[in-house]
Amino acid sequence: MDATLSYGIPRINRSGLLLEGIALWGELKKVMTYEEVRDRALAYCDWAVSMGLLAIRSHVDTCDDRLLGVDALLEVKKSVAPYIDLQLVAFPQDGLYRDPTARENTIRALDKGVDVVGGIPHFERTMADGTRSVTELCEIAAERGLMVDLHCDESDDPHSRHIEQLAYEAKRLGLQGRANGSHLTSMHSMDNY
């Protein structure tokens, strides 16, 4: 929701590709204001509830040292609490290890009251770092008694299988029923064995 209703700002994603979208988000988060994030998110919540949507889970970027989106969406969460169950996910958009302050900022976001631990293992520089990030994020969730929701394998690479590590960590750490993997587009490229 930190990017909701921002189509065309700073410009349109001409390629339609994920990497251009992430690059555009990197440009937008440098110039967006607290008020813009809050107001767009509140407008979205009004639309959502008008359609009967009463529960929303949204990933909020923690790779901005200001945690501007986190603070704005925590205010939105309080504002809409009487009619929408809004869960926020601490999401290190640029990678837990790829971004030098992502881990610290993710912890700060959780300390502020963000509900769920998020991650993006396929965006790390190596498959090994991605696997390591899944383990660390699941351990953070387990230690805090929180849920974990990872954008696991958003690529066409059939070898991107971080969902398997998430399943392993959920079992190892007792996170069954509290672990979610999404954006698993690599699965369509995997062998059917």
Phi-psi region of 71 (alpha: psi -120 to 50; beta: other; left: phi over 0): alpha
CA-CA-CA-CA dihedral for 136, 138, 141, 147, to nearest 10: 150
Q: Which of 139, 154, 164, 169 is catalytic?
A: 154
In the chain, how long is the greatest CA-to-CA distance? Answer: 50
Query: CB under 8 Å, gap of 24 or more: what pairs does 12-16 form?
Result: none
Active site residue 154: yes
Output b/e per residue, 133-147; b: 16+ Cβ within 10 A.
Answer: bbbbbbbbbbeeebb
CA 177/CA 174 separation, integer angstroms: 9
Catalogue the active-site residues. Answer: 154
